């Protein structure tokens, strides 16, 4: 016999940046700015990210591609790994993700590998991070954790050991 279980996904859809608090608008601006430094000669799809740490530091990231395609890295992980390199015990309060060239009403959301990396960070810092995904000056999707975007995720508990 199977039990049906449901997972509810709670997120906010903001109509535009103007309804957000100043610090969220600033983080989105910095993500859009970071996209200018993307190296995306293959996809021509420039992505920017900006992380605000609990301590207030801001760390940007952009996608960096490679002629050997799998060697490229997304903006979100560039920012996350840079943040953990300079502040290994730090906690990510929020991450903004912007693709300036994307217009319309559907912001770009992180790929599966980035979701996995962000969820690991939530386990590492023992608390959720907010995600702000925005169209320039337009709609913004806000989630209150990375896990929201990756329910039933794989983590270290399934390896039968704790990360040390």
Q: Hey, which residues are catalytic here?
A: 76
Among 51, 60, 63, 115, binds ligand THU (CB under 6 A): 63
43 binds ligand THU (CB under 6 A): yes
- Judged by CB under 6 A, how many residues of this single chain contact ligand THU? 15
Sheet with 48-53: strands ordered across: 11-14, 140-143, 130-134, 92-98, 48-53, 58-62
Report the nearest approach of ligand THU to the CB of residue 99 (Å): 8
Nearer to ligand THU, 16 or 43 (CB): 43
The alpha helices in the chain, defined as continuous H runs, are 22-35, 75-86, 112-125
Number of helices (H) and strands (E) in the chain: give both, helices first.
3, 6
Among 47, 53, 141, 146, binds ligand THU (CB under 6 A): 47
* DSSP-derived secondary structure letter, 78: H
Give the three-class secondary structure for 103. Answer: coil
Query: Which stretches of the chain bind ligand THU, using CB under 6 A?
Result: 40, 43, 45, 47, 63, 65, 72, 74-76, 97, 108, 110-111, 114
């Amino acid at each position: 016999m199977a039990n049906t279980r449901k997972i509810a996904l709670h997120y906010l859809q903001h109509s535009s940046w103007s309804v957000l608090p100043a610090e969220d608008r600033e983080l989105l601006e910095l993500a859009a700015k970071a996209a200018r430094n993307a190296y995306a000669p293959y996809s021509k799809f420039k992505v920017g990210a900006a992380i605000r740490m609990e301590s207030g530091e801001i760390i940007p990231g952009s996608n960096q591609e490679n002629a050997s395609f799998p060697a490229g890295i997304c903006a979100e992980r560039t920012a996350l790994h840079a943040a953990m390199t300079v502040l290994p015990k730090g906690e990510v309060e929020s991450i903004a993700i912007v693709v300036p060239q994307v217009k319309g009403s559907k912001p770009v959301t992180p790929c599966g590998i980035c979701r996995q990396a962000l969820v690991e960070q939530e386990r590492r810092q023992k608390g959720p991070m907010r995600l702000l995904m925005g169209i320039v000056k337009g709609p913004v999707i806000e989630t209150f954790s990375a896990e929201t975007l990756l329910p039933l995720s794989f983590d270290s508990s399934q390896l039968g050991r704790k990360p040390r």
